[in-house]
Structure 1
């Protein structure tokens, strides 16, 4: 191992450690750097230990075979004796398992010997949030065993790695929540477009992407939005500018509405322009500043029929009829679509009234469209 790390090298390693949660493969850069400085064969960071119910989640340095990872996840993790280390304490395998027991172990003979892993240095990090992480560093049989120098070096990184794990967990929770809410908005067929402080598009959801691609009432030009007629666009830009000023002045979130004509003659789009309240420490030119919500009256309900059926205890035939009515068809059009007589359709409709407690077709449609079925 290199005898010592310069301040610049140590700073670079720490920087990449904290950059880790933002990498496509978390901590890949830091782990590969650490592998070089410790002159080891492999470094493995286990974010989630494998179990009989779920595969482990681990990051490995370059050169680790996918077959070895799969074998560990499916079988050999149950034989690994180098687990359950004292929390946050760097330990060598030689301190934990005797050399004789190690060489006789099935884990070594059937798994690690083939890839020439003999000496192991490691630490476990169990956070207050419930994370159970492990870092393992390995060398071959003919390599120098890990000693105090390597233990001390790794120990310097353990507190920083724990903090970085907590950052990763927080970012992951935020991303999961964002995806859940974004998915719900998509299911509700509401387009969302987020603008930065310059009025440029930062992010769009699937519904907004479809509307933009159609170029029928809204389109993207040089990262900015044009809507409807020239007059619509002027009014839209005025509302966006007003929302930007509202946010910068820390006024309560401003909401404005606009109806936009479509060149195709299809039903007008409905647009809501709303300023995004800044958090106390928000900074930077690419913070979300304005959000645009778009509704398309011609967008059909995508509520899954099986969910509508389960919610309201409809028969399959009643469900099909109710969904057609919810998507704007008249009773006559729905009966023709289903290939049934109008009297049969009316009988199905009366049955849905009885099951839902409504008395008019419009009330039934409203009930379905406002139900949680659209989130299914």
Structure 2
């Protein structure tokens, strides 16, 4: 099997005799996976219970991009915020197990020793400065999903280097993998089944602005009526035979691809021109779990030359009114016709948090109700540029 050693190397770390210290069963963990999909439980609870199967278990849902030699932890148990930040900023790039993890078969639970020989692991910076610094000796993991070369993984690190006990934990990950893969498919298909009118498609159709929702790999998920017409027309945007969005500008295409990369940290609202058309890319802001399972999502607004002052200039709005990214997310949601509850659910925040952000938007813009924000966005009524 590619990237997996056929036998265990000799152990150089002291053997801590591990035992399964919990009576958590596969059935309970599987139930937690599906309960999390339905909102009846949390992925945090799933990780907490999974971690209990190994001594000092620390479980993570994380991703790794071998092309950038970078990655990050989306959700975890057993790690401090400082450790999570350190992994994303540095240790993901020096984790010697990632080379094997990005090529191993999907759904196969394995030991750290199968990914990287133990005698070499203990000499690595990752082991010395990250694993040992957090009281850890070994790990088990499984690659759940791959997309555009990026791997999405589940791992439990442990203070025990006991092969027998860790092998049992790796086998459990193999059994859980099909259910986790179904979770990916559910998340990545589900959010786009709603009619585009539910996110304000009719508003943009009324001002002749196309709205297209794009997912990972530039895949077109849905579009408003005007967006569909623009895709078919092909003057500024189109679709490939595989259903991917194409733009009549290599620079704009490159920008949108970059915004749709896992872990993107740049500006979430950006605009580009393609001939007489103006395109605005809005990266949908989500909580970490939704981003992990659903992948990145962007709204593409296409304004034809005759749209004029009726078109929505989100980038200008953000600059003109000094709106933060969180405030811009709340305002964008309102302009797109979403309710406060929907915006809160997508962002993984409370309803009151979104209400507070909207109050800040009202204060900065002088608007007094949601309808004012829609008119502000669609009519281009802005203060003079400084």
TM-score range relative to shorter protein: 0.3 to 0.5
Q: Looking at CA atoms only, which structure, 1 or 2, has the larger radius of gyration?
A: 1
Greater RCO, 1 or 2 (C-alpha within 8 Å, sep 6+): 2
TM-score (norm 2): 0.42
TM-score (norm 1): 0.43
